[in-house]
Amino acid sequence: MVRFAEQAWFSAAQKIPTGMEEAFGFKNLEEIEKSSIGEPIRMYYWQGREDGEIITSNTYRFPILVDGKKVSLLTVSTDGEMTSEDFGGAILARNIQDISDAYQVKITGILRIHIINSDFLVFEEKNISYFIPVVPHTLSNLSQKNVLELNDIVTIVRNQNI
């Protein structure tokens, strides 16, 4: 899958229009040329309403790295035939970088909850999944209160607010 992502990134990078580098998370053409693929981040989705469940998808977001920092994301799906579906997400890539740096965790997943229009970054510690909301408040108020467990997610969905 990593080899496929590298090839898909090489193809996508060639298609970034000159002058549009910043829209895709890069400062200039040189950053695109020296970029590389990071470790995949799996996508998860919330199914149902209040007492929903987390569904594991076959979709991965591969960070595009410049000098070891996440600047953009390449989406790869392994449903049936492997495909590259999307490229972009510069703001989400920066948030992943900032949150993983601030909390000193390795982000392994993104939980997307459509009914509250929110993403939560997933990391594991001692075989327990934890979630950090991707909202401006998280970055401006670093606190262990931002590190959530599954029961917290259920409460948020029930109340439909974060």
What per-residue confidence (pLDDT) applies to 120?
A: 95
What per-residue confidence (pLDDT) applies to 56?
A: 95
**What own/partner pairs with CB < 8 Å and gap ≥ 24 does 121-130 have?**
121/95, 121/96, 122/44, 130/105
CA distance 113 to 148: 14
To which residue do tokens 């992502």 refer? Answer: 5
pLDDT single digits (tens) 38-73: 999 999 999 877 677 899 999 999 999 999 999 999
What per-residue confidence (pLDDT) applies to 4?
A: 92
**What own/partner pairs with CB < 8 Å and gap ≥ 24 does 134-143 have?**
134/92, 134/95, 134/96, 134/99, 134/110, 135/162, 138/99, 139/95, 139/98, 139/99, 139/102, 142/102, 142/103
What per-residue confidence (pLDDT) applies to 130?
A: 96
Domain count, the chain: 1
What per-residue confidence (pLDDT) applies to 139?
A: 66
What per-residue confidence (pLDDT) applies to 39?
A: 96
3-state SS track over 23-45: HHCCCCHHHHHCCEECCCEEEEE
Which positions of the chain have pLDDT values less than 50? none
Residues 122, 110: contact at Cβ < 8 Å? yes
What per-residue confidence (pLDDT) applies to 160?
A: 77
CA distance 147 to 120: 10
Range of the domain at 95: 2-159
